[in-house]
Amino acid sequence: MTKRVLAIIPARGGSKGLPRKNIISLAGKPLIAWTIEASLRSKYITKTIVSSDDDEIKSVSFDYGAEVIDRPVNLATDEASSESVIKHAVDYLKCNGEEFDIIILLQPTSPLRTTEHIDNAFKMMFDSQAESVISVCDFDNKVLKTFLNDHNGYLTGIVNDEYPFMRRQDLPKVYMPNGAIYIIWTSSFFKNRSLLTVKTLGFIMAKDVSADVDSWSDLDEIEKYSAR
């Protein structure tokens, strides 16, 4: 049976670091358009929606082929979680008679994430027993050598008290989520209320395509890369 897959692109109007960043121009088209187009070309995604509180973002999204859901004001704040936005979109569509087996969250601030990345992440999940897949990139494992202060103010290893004294080459590899792809079975999402489950695989992406737009300098670097 063909799985019904919902792509949710969260794009609120407010942005303090880079105002109006979701529709700011990147290499000749709005930032959000890169993600919409990648989603629409996926062979697995059934429906692509943009969740937004902003009329201009909704208009641009519609122009590039996405469907749009009005996001409530209380879910368009800095404090609103991705999980709450996902739940709102899924519940809204369910009330309109549409249900989906799988959810994929695609943040518009990851424009270098391609359809190929998306489809390969889906293949990873379908070829495994995973409940979810999160895109990641390699991260410096030196972070495992750091300390925290415990409740008495004494130093304790961030993971354990052995790693701070181990050679870096003996430490395990670590990965940083890059914000580009989050895939999860709908049933697992509502069971766990989280994109991370006990059966989550990491889809590794190269650092040069893991860029996240949060400032003008980020935008400049991504524009240089996309022009190659």
Which CATH number fits the domain that encloses residue 41?
A: 3.90.550.10
- Determine, yes or no, domain membership for 152: no
Q: What is the reported pLDDT for 219? A: 82
At 203, give phi and psi (nearest 5°). Answer: -95, 110
Q: What is the reported pLDDT for 1? A: 53
- Determine, yes or no, domain membership for 214: yes
Average pLDDT over every residue of 3-28: 89
- Determine, yes or no, domain membership for 148: no
- Determine, yes or no, domain membership for 60: yes
Mean pLDDT of the chain: 94
- Determine, yes or no, domain membership for 119: yes
The neighbouring-strand residues paired with 135 are: 203
Q: What is the reported pLDDT for 227? A: 66
The neighbouring-strand residues paired with 52 are: 70
Judged by average pLDDT, the poorest of 89-93, 107-111, 207-211 is: 207-211
- Determine, yes or no, domain membership for 161: no
Average pLDDT over every residue of 222-227: 75
Share of the chain above pLDDT 90, in %: 81
| Reported confidence tier of residue 89, pLDDT bands at 50, 70, 90 | very high
- Determine, yes or no, domain membership for 193: yes
Share of the chain above pLDDT 70, in %: 97
Q: Which domain holds residue 89?
A: 5-139+174-226
Average pLDDT over every residue of 2-24: 88
Provide the pairing of β-strand 147-149 with 200-204: unpaired
Q: Which two tokens stand for residue 87?
A: 């739940």
* Tens-place pLDDT, residues 158-217: 999 999 999 999 999 999 999 999 999 999 999 999 999 999 999 999 999 998 988 888
Q: What is the reported pLDDT for 58? A: 96
Report d(CA 133, CA 74) in Å as an integer.
Answer: 28
The count of structural domains within the chain is: 1
Average pLDDT over every residue of 95-121: 97
Question: With contact defined as beta carbons under 8 Å apart, do 14 and 80 qualify?
Answer: no
* Tens-place pLDDT, residues 113-169: 999 999 999 999 999 999 999 999 999 999 999 999 999 999 999 999 999 999 999
Within the chain, strands assigned E span: 5-10, 25-26, 29-30, 47-52, 67-70, 102-105, 132-139, 147-149, 155-157, 174-185, 200-204
Q: What is the reported pLDDT for 15? A: 73
| Reported confidence tier of residue 76, pLDDT bands at 50, 70, 90 | confident
